[in-house]
Structure 1
Amino acid sequence: MTHDICLNIHYSAPDEIWDMIGEVYRSMDHWCDNAGYPAWRGENINLSAFVEPGGIQISGEMPDELWDKWCGELKSKLSLKLGYEIGEPEDGFKFKYWTPFEKKYSDIKTIDDVKIVFNDYSTFYWDDFTEHERDITVKRPYHAFRSPLIELYIYFDDTDILSGKKLQQEFLEFQSRLNELNIHICRFKTVDEI
């Protein structure tokens, strides 16, 4: 009768995504308009939704025979509306991040064939990416890793006018390291040397 789920919707989603989530919430049976926060009420029904660092948490009471159908419908509607599969992260459902992550090459702590970790301990797994793009010719040279759910930009320092050779060396060393680790992600943009 008491239920608690966490869904893979990240708290950093932009306002237009929260508006879409609100539409789905309101379309669900037992929606309560006057709670002041997302809630569903009825006979033996008292559910609330909150945004947590680990995703959207929905908890409260609902008879088991209603819960499975209601929860399945909520996940299905959210998946359709948001354009990616919604479910519980503990069941392997991945978060979508609407804002790209931006990191500096100099902040890489470790890198191996599974993941890259930065000095702030943010960790990214290579399996999460489907595309790789690199460009050394732009003002802020970068390697970009993308998928429909996440983007990671690794920027190289080009602030020192005398650092052109160092920048080129670091850029190519990073690509060489990726090759050594056998990290080959779909698509590469052509890169000209500086």
Structure 2
Amino acid sequence: MNEITSHQCNLNIWAHLPDKVWNRVANIYELMPGWIGYIDGIPHWFGQEEDDVYIQASVEPSGLSFYAQMNQSDWDSWIGAFKLEATKVLGFEVGEPEDGFE
């Protein structure tokens, strides 16, 4: 099953957190596989919207939001790795608010 599909995920990394936290998040971005940098201020991995495969992130009222277009197993692996690294670096358990993470 290598079908490219869309994925969306909000994490409990809130906009109101201090700059110190957001600086750490920026460092995590750069460590993640596929990092290509900021394009118009938006972090991107693997490609951009016109490409078949890409991930981008934005800070929303609902938390740090990721939008991706890739196959399911690659997405599951990538977002799982991000959550693990963010939990380790930020010092709190990072997950989706819908799953009970505050």
Given that 1:49 and 1:58 are in contact with CA atoms closer than 8 Å, whether structure 2 keeps it comes out as: yes
Aligned to 2:21: 17
* Deviation by residue 1:79-99 (Cα, 9 ceiling, x = unmatched): 0000010000000001xxxxx
- Equivalent residue letter for 1:76: L
Corresponding position: 1:86 with 2:91: no
- Aligned mates of 1:87, 1:61 — CA distance in 2: 20
Q: Please, which of 82, 85, 89 is the counterpart of residue 74 of structure 1?
A: 82
CA RMSD of aligned residues (A): 1.3
- Aligned mates of 1:7, 1:34 — CA distance in 2: 20
* Shift in Å, 1:76: 0.2
Q: Any idea what SS the aligned residue of 2:46 has? A: strand
Aligned to 1:131: none
Tell me which stretches of 4 or more aligned residues in structure 1 moved more than 4 Å: none
- Aligned mates of 1:34, 1:49 — CA distance in 2: 10
* Deviation by residue 1:138-191 (Cα, 9 ceiling, x = unmatched): xxxxxxxxxxxxxxxxxxxxxxxxxxxxxxxxxxxxxxxxxxxxxxxxxxxxxx
Q: Any idea what SS the aligned residue of 1:93 has? A: coil
Aligned to 2:45: 40
The two structures have a TM-score, normalised by structure 2, of 0.85
- Aligned mates of 2:73, 2:98 — CA distance in 1: 23
Matches within 5 A, 1:179-190: none
The two structures have a TM-score, normalised by structure 1, of 0.46
Q: Any idea what SS the aligned residue of 2:9 has? A: strand
- Structure 1's unaligned 5+ residue stretches are 95-194
Percent identity over the alignment? 37
* Shift in Å, 1:15: 1.0
Q: Which has the higher strand share?
A: 2
- Structure 2's unaligned 5+ residue stretches are none
Greater C-alpha Rg: 1
